Structures are given as structure tokens and as C-alpha cells.
């Protein structure tokens, strides 16, 4: 068993930590590298109070558990992603081992991947046991054990079904281009999409809730809402990359430009539905109907613009995100000078013109 | 008939193709040339996939002026096709059929001819390179395109698929309004394939060769 384990360790665990080294370093500095005092407390006392807050306050504990679950999910995605890579095809040889042996190997691998969380779980256990809070410790460790076991089980399934996609298959009675794009979001970008929705919807909802008939302000909610929409640029960029690599044939299809634009418009309308629902929920007390409408038009126009400009020329990732920052700056001055209605119209206009001018002239470089 | 007039293509300032004028009559043409000579670039241009300078006209339809009408006449299969891994072959076929408004019976015939019916319902992610290539060629034959552009149609194909492609090309060429543009950078076993004219792509331009 030693050699199969060593190989898995070198080909899964090491690449994982190498790839995420900068994030772990940042987190380590954030949590443990701060010298001196934090809010008047020593480092040990800081963690002591952090753990106390975690296990004594239900809401805080839930947030931590969700974060750990998210980390586990990222680990799982990393491993199954490796399984699909051509240079990892050799890993199919592990299917010659018995299920129990494979599962034990994957348990070990996942324990290594989950090590940062497990170590922090140990700190929590020491502090809570010292304080006599045994039940929360048992709950936390049961949760961590479930995460590791589920990860190993999931990878065991994927290892035996290396080229299969039997889970999460969506079968529609018809096929159309917008639904191919939406399915890509469902399969590959759903976590990103969900995060963006939680941020944009959560921010606008939480801030606009302070509005009332007598005390009304739209500048602050819009600022955060717009920032959340702008972050959709990551999703847009991912979708365009997907189009260029896997759907390039569609450019040669006999489809009028207007229809192509309508297809993209439908995709982004569906992707922005949560924002539409949240804005509608805030009407009429926390947001006036006209303002909610303008918020949505701005969001829709902005997303379409972020998509359409990618046809003007090929942007590298950094260039594209720099462009988004520029769009954000222009928006800021535009709103100050002309207001939301003008900006919505302008964004929609820019989106349509950029798309119509750029679509057939676009080519990917590099 | 396909006409190229002052077609020029550059990548990052480097001229890859500069064709003053060229005319492809209907029939079969094999584009030959070493790697990087511009075969695929030319095929992508006439398929409406790459922007270019100049004029490309197929059966009096200008690619720039009537992009939709032009694309209705053209079908294209890549050398190394890539499709979304989660789509099944059936879904890809349905998408192409809806775009090209093809007869379902003809599509069923193609599926049977290529022998892909045993895996067409599975996702692309489960296929080998050869299986994907077969489906890409099948998709190129859907409908009744006047211009069929196949980039390296012979690579990764087994003998059965090769004979199917060869048979389909011969069958479609019986229609005098059909033009095949095929590329190859190696000498294939031409005895299996219908006769055609060789075109050399070199020194940034194209030139006629001999009938084979």
C-alpha cells in the first residue's frame, strides 16, 4: 500500500498545496502572523475568543461550517479535475485495487487536503475541552469526519467512472444555443454564479432595508449592487472562453446577428433573475418601483456590455479585468453627471453597437 | 463555385495569406502544404469563422455582404473538433439539424452510415478522439451545403469511417453544385478517395497543381 499511497500523495496532495500556496500563506499570516495585540488581546487570547464565539453563537458556527464545507468542495473539485486531465489517465490503474483499499487511500489523501481545517478543528477541540464544552467539539468533529468521508466517496465514484458524466445530467426535449451556455454555468460555474448572486442580492437587500418612506437613499445600495453586478464579469469571461474553445463552430452557423444578440440577451436575463426578484421584493417600501427598474436596467445593460466588448478584440484576463475597473470608473462619473436612466440607456446602446460591430470581426489571438 | 479576390490575412502583423485571385469550380479540391502554411486559416476564412481582408464569394453570394445566406451554404468540420463535454451527440445533431433545417431521415441515414448510433446518445466527454472526429464529419454532412470544408478529414479515422467519408464525398459530388475543400498535410491513401484537384498552399498564397 505504501507505493500507491506515495504516488497519490505526490500527484494530488503536493500539486494542491503548490497551487494554493499563496492563499494558505495569506490566511496563515492573517490568522497567526499578526504580532502584538489584536483588539487589546494577545494572539492566543484572540483565537481563544474567536473559538469561544464560534461554538457559543449558533449563527457564527454555521458560517464557519459552511466555509469549511466550501473548502472541502474546492478540494473535491480539484481532485476530480485532476482525474479528467490527460496526464492523469494513468490513475485508472487504481481501479484494479479493491473498493476498500481505494477508499482508504482516498481517505488518507483527503485528510491531507483537509489538513488546515483539521488542524484548526484541533485548536477548537483543545479550547472547548478546556472550557468543558464537549458537545460542540463532538459536533464539529463529526461534521469534519463526514466531509472527509463524503469527499473520499465522491472521488471513489469518479475514479471508477473516470470518463462518465452520469450525475447531474440535464435532458431537455429541445436544444438551443442559450441553453448550452446556461448548462455550462450549471455544470462548471454554478458556485461562482451562486456567490455572485449572494453578494449582489445580499448587499442590495441588506442596505436597502434601511430605506423607509421618510428616510430614502439609493446611492449607497446602488454602489454595492453595481459592484456585485460588475463582478459578473468573471462569469462572462468564463462563458466567452468556453464559447471560443468548445463552441467555435457556432460562429459559422447561419444565424442572423440580431438572433445571436437575442440569444445572449436571454442567457443574461436568466442569469440575472435573482437580482430581478430581490429588487421586486424591495418595492415599494425600501426601493421605489422606478428606482428598482433602473437598477435592473443598469445591471442588465452592464452585463450585456461586459459580454459585447469581448467581441471588439481578444482580451487577456488581466486586460479584461482592467477594462471592468475602467467601466466602473466611467459609470461613477456618468451617474454623478447624468443619472441612472441615462446610464442604463447608454450601457444598452454600447452593448448592442459593440456586438453588431464586433461579432464577425472578432478573432482570438494566442 | 468559390471565388477569392485579394484575400489577405495577418496574425499580429505577420501576413499568413495573400491571395490576389483564385477560383474553385465545383468538385473536390485537396489543399496541400506543410504545417503552418495557412491551410487551416484559408479554410476557416471561407467557412466564415475568421475575419479577413478582401472578398470571398460562393455562388454569387458575398461572405461580407450576405453573411447569413453565405453561411447557409457552407458546412465545416475542424481537424481536431472540440465540443462541450456535457452535450450528447444526439443534442449536437439536433442543434445542427435545427440550424440547417435538415430532414431527420437524412440525419438518421448519416448516423447509421458512420456507425455512431451506439454512442451518439452519450456525452462528448466520454468519447475518444476518433469518435469525436466521426461525429464532427457527420455534422458537416447534415443538410445540403454547397460548400463542404473539411480540415484534415482523414486523421484519427478508422478504415470503415474513411470509406464512409469517401463514399459520401463521391455521392455529394454527383450534385454538380457541390464543392469540397479538403486539407491534408500528408499523403493519404488516395485510392480510397474520389479524384480531386490538388492545390498547394505555400509562400502565403495558393496555386494549382495536377489532377490526382
Can you state the percent helix, strand and coil of chain A, rounding each to 5? 80, 0, 20
Q: Which helix (H) or strand (E) holds B109?
A: helix B104-114
Q: What are phi and psi of A220, to 5 degrees?
A: -70, -50
pLDDT of residue A62: 83
Q: What is residue B87's three-state secondary structure?
A: coil
User: At A364, is the pLDDT very low, low, confident or very high (cuts 50, 70, 90)?
Assistant: confident
Q: What mean pLDDT is predicted for residues A321-349?
A: 89
Q: Which helix (H) or strand (E) holds B147?
A: strand B147-150
Distance of CA A19 to the CA centre of its chain: 18
Interface residue of A80, A175, A259 to substitute, partner B, most B CBs within 10 Å: A175
pLDDT of residue A349: 95
Tell me if the bond preceding B111 is cis, omega within 30° of 0: no
User: At A167, is the pLDDT very low, low, confident or very high (cuts 50, 70, 90)?
Assistant: very low
Reading the block at residue B110, the C-alpha cell is 448519416
pLDDT of residue B181: 93
Instruction: Choose the most confident range, by mean pLDDT, from A31-35, A160-164, A331-335.
Output: A331-335
Does A242 contact B84 at a Cβ distance shorter than 8 Å?
Answer: yes
Q: Are strands B53-58 and B205-211 parallel, antiparallel or unpaired?
A: unpaired
Q: Contacts for A270-273 with beta carbons within 8 Å, 24 or more apart?
A: A270/A178, A270/A182, A271/A182, A271/A185, A271/A193, A271/A232, A271/A235, A271/A303, A272/A229, A272/A296, A272/A299, A272/A300, A272/A303
Distance to chain B for A140, nearest Cα, Å: 36
- Chain B residues whose C-beta is within 8 A of a chain A C-beta are 11-12, 47-51, 67-69, 71-72, 74, 76, 78, 81-87, 91, 94-95, 98-100, 123, 125-126, 139
| Lowest model confidence (mean pLDDT) among A183-192, B58-67, B112-121 | A183-192
Look at the block and give the residue holding cell 475514479: A159
Position B193 pLDDT exceeds 80:
no
pLDDT of residue B60: 92
Torsional class of B13: left (φ above 0), alpha (ψ -120 to 50), beta (otherwise): left
Chain B residues within an 8 Å CB radius of A184: 84, 86
pLDDT of residue A289: 92
Position B211 pLDDT exceeds 60:
no
For chain A, the average pLDDT equals 85
d(CA A159, CA B190): 43
Q: What are phi and psi of B47, to 5 degrees?
A: -85, -5
pLDDT of residue A159: 78
Interface residue of A173, A248, A250, A253 to substitute, partner B, most B CBs within 10 Å: A253
Q: Among B11, B47, B125, whose Cβ lies nearest the Cβ of A165? A: B125
For chain B, the average pLDDT equals 88
Chain B residues within an 8 Å CB radius of A163: 125-126
pLDDT of residue A34: 55
**Residue range B150-184, pLDDT digits in tens:** 999 888 888 888 889 989 998 888 888 899 999 98
Chain A residues within an 8 Å CB radius of B139: 249
Does A83 lie at the interface with B, CB-CB under 8 angstroms? no
Q: Among A84, A176, A246, whose Cβ lies nearest the Cβ of B84? A: A246
d(CA B47, CA A148): 51
Does A169 contact B86 at a Cβ distance shorter than 8 Å?
Answer: yes
**Residue range B4-15, pLDDT digits in tens:** 999 999 888 889
**Residue range A186-214, pLDDT digits in tens:** 888 888 898 889 889 988 988 888 888 78
Distance to chain A for B190, nearest Cα, Å: 28
**Residue range A68-104, pLDDT digits in tens:** 998 998 899 889 888 877 778 778 778 778 888 889 9
Does A249 lie at the interface with B, CB-CB under 8 angstroms? yes
Say which DSSP state A213 is in.
S
| Per-residue burial over B44-70, b = 16 or more CB atoms within 10 Å of its CB, e = otherwise | bbbbbbbebebebbbeebebeeebeeb
Distance to chain A for B105, nearest Cα, Å: 18
Interface residue of B80, B81, B84, B141 to substitute, partner A, most A CBs within 10 Å: B84
Cα torsion angle, B74, A351, A270, A316, sign: positive
pLDDT of residue A356: 93
For the full predicted model, state whether its pTM sits above 0.90: no
Position A216 pLDDT exceeds 90:
no
Say which DSSP state A66 is in.
H
CA atoms within 13 A on the CB side of B184: 19
Q: Which helix (H) or strand (E) holds B14?
A: strand B14-24
User: At A28, is the pLDDT very low, low, confident or very high (cuts 50, 70, 90)?
Assistant: confident
Torsional class of A173: left (φ above 0), alpha (ψ -120 to 50), beta (otherwise): alpha
d(CA A259, CA B37): 35
Chain A residues within an 8 Å CB radius of B100: 254
Q: What mean pLDDT is predicted for residues A124-152?
A: 89
pLDDT of residue A37: 53
pLDDT of residue A162: 54
Q: Which helix (H) or strand (E) holds B55?
A: strand B53-58
Query: Helices B89-100 and B104-114 meet at what angle, rounded to 10?
Result: 140
d(CA A309, CA A324): 10
Does B99 contact A253 at a Cβ distance shorter than 8 Å?
Answer: yes
Name A362's Cβ contacts closer than 8 Å, sequence gap at least 6.
Answer: A310, A311, A312, A313, A314, B51
d(CA A16, CA A116): 12
Predicted complex ipTM:
0.80
Chain A residues within an 8 Å CB radius of B126: 163-165
| Lowest model confidence (mean pLDDT) among A75-89, A143-157, B68-82, B170-184 | A75-89
Position B73 pLDDT exceeds 80:
yes
Query: Helices A340-358 and A257-271 meet at what angle, rounded to 10?
Result: 130
Position A166 pLDDT exceeds 50:
no
Amino acid at each position: 500500500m505504501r507505493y500507491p499511497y506515495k504516488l497519490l500523495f505526490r500527484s494530488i496532495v503536493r500539486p494542491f498545496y503548490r497551487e494554493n500556496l499563496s492563499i494558505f500563506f495569506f490566511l496563515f499570516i492573517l490568522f497567526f502572523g499578526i504580532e502584538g495585540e489584536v483588539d487589546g488581546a494577545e494572539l492566543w487570547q484572540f483565537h481563544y475568543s474567536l473559538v469561544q464565539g464560534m461554538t457559543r453563537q449558533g449563527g457564527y458556527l454555521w458560517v464557519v461550517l459552511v466555509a469549511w464545507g466550501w473548502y472541502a468542495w474546492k478540494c473535491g473539485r480539484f481532485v476530480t479535475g485532476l482525474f479528467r486531465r490527460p496526464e492523469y489517465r494513468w490513475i485508472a490503474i487504481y481501479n484494479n485495487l479493491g473498493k476498500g483499499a481505494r477508499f482508504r487511500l482516498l481517505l488518507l489523501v483527503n485528510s491531507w487536503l483537509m489538513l488546515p481545517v483539521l488542524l484548526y478543528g484541533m485548536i477548537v477541540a483543545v479550547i472547548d475541552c478546556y472550557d468543558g464544552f464537549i458537545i460542540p467539539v463532538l459536533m464539529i468533529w463529526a461534521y469534519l469526519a463526514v466531509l472527509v468521508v463524503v469527499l473520499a466517496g465522491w472521488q471513489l465514484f469518479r475514479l471508477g467512472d473516470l470518463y462518465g458524466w452520469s450525475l447531474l445530467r440535464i435532458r431537455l426535449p429541445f436544444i438551443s444555443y442559450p441553453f448550452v451556455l446556461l448548462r455550462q454555468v450549471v455544470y462548471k460555474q454554478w458556485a461562482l454564479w451562486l456567490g455572485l448572486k449572494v453578494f449582489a442580492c445580499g448587499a442590495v437587500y441588506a442596505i436597502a432595508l434601511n430605506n423607509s418612506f421618510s428616510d430614502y437613499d439609493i446611492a449607497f445600495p446602488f454602489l454595492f449592487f453595481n459592484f456585485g453586478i460588475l463582478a459578473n464579469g468573471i462569469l462572462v469571461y468564463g462563458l466567452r472562453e468556453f464559447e471560443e474553445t468548445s463552441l467555435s463552430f457556432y460562429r459559422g452557423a447561419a444565424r442572423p446577428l440580431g438572433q445571436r444578440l437575442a440569444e445572449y440577451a436571454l442567457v443574461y436575463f436568466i442569469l440575472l433573475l435573482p437580482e430581478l426578484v430581490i429588487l421586486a421584493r424591495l418595492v415599494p417600501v425600501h426601493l421605489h418601483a422606478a428606482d428598482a427598474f433602473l437598477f435592473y436596467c443598469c445591471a442588465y445593460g452592464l452585463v450585456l456590455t461586459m459580454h459585447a466588448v469581448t467581441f471588439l478584440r481578444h482580451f487577456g484576463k488581466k486586460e479584461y479585468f482592467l477594462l471592468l475597473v475602467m467601466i466602473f470608473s466611467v459609470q461613477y462619473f456618468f451617474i454623478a453627471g447624468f443619472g441612472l436612466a441615462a446610464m442604463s440607456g447608454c450601457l444598452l446602446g454600447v452593448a448592442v453597437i459593440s456586438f453588431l460591430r464586433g461579432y464577425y470581426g472578432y478573432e482570438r489571438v494566442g | 463555385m468559390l471565388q477569392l479576390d485579394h484575400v489577405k490575412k495577418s496574425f499580429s502583423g505577420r501576413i499568413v495569406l495573400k491571395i490576389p485571385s483564385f477560383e474553385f469550380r465545383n468538385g473536390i479540391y485537396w489543399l496541400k502544404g506543410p504545417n503552418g502554411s495557412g491551410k487551416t486559416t484559408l479554410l476557416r476564412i471561407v467557412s466564415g469563422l475568421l475575419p479577413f481582408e478582401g472578398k470571398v464569394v460562393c455562388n454569387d453570394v458575398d461572405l461580407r455582404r450576405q453573411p447569413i445566406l453565405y453561411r447557409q451554404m457552407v458546412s465545416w468540420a475542424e481537424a481536431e473538433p472540440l465540443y462541450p463535454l456535457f452535450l450528447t451527440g444526439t443534442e449536437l445533431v439536433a442543434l445542427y439539424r435545427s440550424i440547417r433545417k435538415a430532414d431527420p431521415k437524412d440525419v438518421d441515414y448519416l448516423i447509421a452510415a458512420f456507425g455512431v448510433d451506439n454512442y451518439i446518445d452519450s456525452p462528448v466527454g466520454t468519447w475518444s478522439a476518433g469518435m469525436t472526429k466521426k461525429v464532427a464529419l457527420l455534422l458537416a454532412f447534415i443538410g445540403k451545403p454547397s460548400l463542404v470544408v473539411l480540415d484534415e478529414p482523414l486523421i484519427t479515422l478508422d478504415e470503415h469511417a474513411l470509406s464512409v467519408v469517401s463514399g459520401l464525398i463521391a455521392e455529394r459530388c454527383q450534385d454538380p453544385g457541390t464543392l469540397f475543400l479538403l486539407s491534408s498535410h500528408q499523403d493519404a491513401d488516395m485510392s480510397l478517395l474520389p479524384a480531386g484537384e490538388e492545390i498547394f498552399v505555400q509562400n502565403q498564397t495558393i496555386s494549382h497543381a495536377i489532377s490526382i
